[in-house]
Amino acid sequence: SALIAFLFYNHFPAKVFPGNTLTYAIGALIACVTILGNVERAALILFIPYFLELGLKTKGKFKKESFGLPKKDGSLELRYPKIYGLEHIAIVILKKLKPSHKVYEQEIVVLLLLVEVIIATTIIF
């Protein structure tokens, strides 16, 4: 129930942030459930975006930020000429799909969540 409250307050605009304490605990919980439930293959597939993020962070030598560059109208632009995070990939995809070529934070979050839901649905069925 605490995570439901966290999810409520973490929606845009976020009022709370997870920090290392929550992310480590959730990671440990996911690992335990994965091992005890004998669903390692499914967990590996679910974590593909995170492995991709690790590869992109490594490409940037862990020094590049995974944020878009905010514009005055609230839209986001790429911060670097190259891609160093999943957020950057989302910005590029959304700019190509939208006629206005303006991308907002909420749209990036929805796209990344949609990708994760598609992966999870694929695993289930």
- Does the structure show a pLDDT above 80 at 12? no
> What is the secondary structure of 14-64 as a DSSP string?
PS---HHHHHHHHHHHHHHHHHHTT-HHHHHHHTHHHHHHHHHHHHTTT-S
Spatial separation of the C-alpha atoms in residues 27 and 25, rounded to whole Å: 5
pLDDT at residue 1 tops 80? no
Q: Tens digits of per-residue pLDDT, 36-47?
A: 999 999 999 999
Residue 125 pLDDT class (50, 70, 90 cuts): confident
Within 10 Å of residue 107's Cβ, how many Cβ atoms?
18
Q: Apex CA 27: angle with CA 26 and CA 30, to 5°?
A: 85
Q: Range with the lowest mean pLDDT among 14-18, 31-35, 42-46, 102-106?
A: 14-18
pLDDT at residue 10 above 90?
no
Using one digit for the tens of pLDDT, what is the confidence trace for 51-99? 999 999 999 999 999 889 999 999 999 999 999 999 999 999 999 999 9
Contact partners, residue 108, CB within 8 Å, separation at least 6? 68, 76, 87, 90, 91, 94
The 3-state DSSP class for residue 80 equals coil
Name the DSSP letter for residue 100.
T
pLDDT the model gives residue 124: 87
Q: Round to whole Å and give the CA distance between 70 and 104.
A: 9
Global pTM reads 0.85
Cβ(108)–Cβ(68) below 8 Å: yes
pLDDT at 69: 95
